[in-house]
Structure 1
Amino acid sequence: MDIHPTPLAGSALIDLKRLEDDRGFFARAFCEQEFLDAGLDPTITQCNLSYNHGTGTLRGFHYQLEPNAEVKVIRCVRGAVFDVIVDLRPESETYLQWFGAELSQDNYRAMYVPRNFAHAYLTLTPDATTIYQVSTPYTPGAERGLRWNDPAIGVEWPIEIATISDKDANWPLLADNPDFAAAPKAEVR
């Protein structure tokens, strides 16, 4: 695996090192020791699969509060998605900044999302399918979210949002969220 830090400290993009021959290729998609060597938490307790019918489907922004904050590793195994993370760590130099990257069946790239980051993705193709490895099981009482179009975060989505759940469409804006009442305006990355 090739692990590349993103501009948001603690997060990473993970590319495969392919061993190719006339059959196709083989690659390691996860390695506890390589994660540890890169300073990433390798804990995985749950694995989720998400299928999306149409282009323009938005899922997120989701995160869980401590002590249930999650590490996530997301990979798109069919189609393509624009995957976005937001740093929610008040002590971080990149607090409330975002980073996005395309994950696809062609690039096999994964996004490593540290604890206390929000995560979302937008499908760029029909039938997009993602697989999530997560460090902490889903805990309904700890689940929170950010509004996908909050101007204080300013994510630049590459295509129009066509489908979004009522829950995701109605997360509070940062200005109305007691967890972020004193939050400064974020810079767009």
Structure 2
Amino acid sequence: MKVVETNFTDAKLLEPRLFGDERGFFTESYNKKVLETLGITYSFVQDNVSYSAQAGTIRGLHFQKNPKAQTKLIQVMQGAIYDVIVDLRKDSSTFKQWRGYILSSDNHRQLLVPKGFAHGFCTLVPHTIVMYKVDEYYSAEHDSGVLWNDKELAIPWPVTSPILSDKDRISPLLQEYEDSF
């Protein structure tokens, strides 16, 4: 497993080793011992899977407030996404900054998203399946988000007419966000 540092403290790109032959490939997508040797010591408690039938589907920007904040380990099982994280930690030198990464079933990259970040993605191809591990159970009471097209963030999503849930259409602006981290 190779770890690629990002501009954010504790957010990392992970690149698992692939062992390929004429049949295809084998990889360990998660190995707690290996990650611990790399300084990644989260205890994941739940796996989630999302399926998006169409390209141009945006999910996010989501997070859970304290004390139920979640660290997430994101990977694409099928298809490709433009994966975005936004730093919501008020004491961070990168507060309100965002970055986008391409994750796909071809590049096998994973994104470790620590507590204190909003997370969202746009599907780049139809029939995209995203799996993510979380270190805290879902809590409707702590579920929150930031509007995907907030002008303050100015994220250049790779779609002009996205497919959105009703919830994601009406998420609050970043300036309305009440500090939780």
TM-score bracket relative to the smaller structure: over 0.9
Give yes or no for the alignment of 1:48 onto 2:54. Answer: no
Assess, with a 3 A threshold, how the Cα gap between structure 1 residues 2 and 168 changes in structure 2: closer, same or farther: same
Identical positions, percent:
37
Q: Normalized against structure 2, the TM-score is what? A: 0.93
8 Å CA contact 1:52, 1:123 repeated in 2: yes
| Secondary structure in structure 2 of the residue aligned to 1:25 | strand
Equivalent runs, 1:86-97 vs 2, <5 Å: 86-97=86-97
Offset from partner CA, 1:24-76 (integer Å, 9 cap, x none)? 22111112133223332331100011000111000011101111110101111
Give yes or no for the alignment of 1:173 onto 2:173. Answer: yes
Residue 110 of structure 1 corresponds to 110
How big is the alpha-carbon RMSD for the aligned residues of Structure 1 and Structure 2? 1.4
Give yes or no for the alignment of 1:14 onto 2:19. Answer: no
**Structure 1 unaligned spans of 5+:** 181-189
| Secondary structure in structure 2 of the residue aligned to 1:164 | coil
Number of residue-to-residue matches in the alignment: 180
| Secondary structure in structure 1 of the residue aligned to 2:179 | helix
Residue 98 of structure 1 corresponds to 98
8 Å CA contact 2:59, 2:168 repeated in 1: yes
Q: Which amino acid aligns with 2:45?
A: T
Residue 62 of structure 1 corresponds to 62
8 Å CA contact 1:58, 1:121 repeated in 2: yes
Q: Which amino acid aligns with 1:36?
A: E
Q: Normalized against structure 1, the TM-score is what? A: 0.90
8 Å CA contact 1:146, 1:174 repeated in 2: yes
| Secondary structure in structure 2 of the residue aligned to 1:163 | coil
Question: How far does residue 96 in structure 1 lie from its aligned partner after superposition?
Answer: 1.1
Q: Which amino acid aligns with 1:154?
A: A
Offset from partner CA, 1:132-166 (integer Å, 9 cap, x none)? 11111110000110011112112121222421011
8 Å CA contact 1:51, 1:130 repeated in 2: yes
Residue 184 of structure 1 corresponds to none
**Structure 2 unaligned spans of 5+:** none
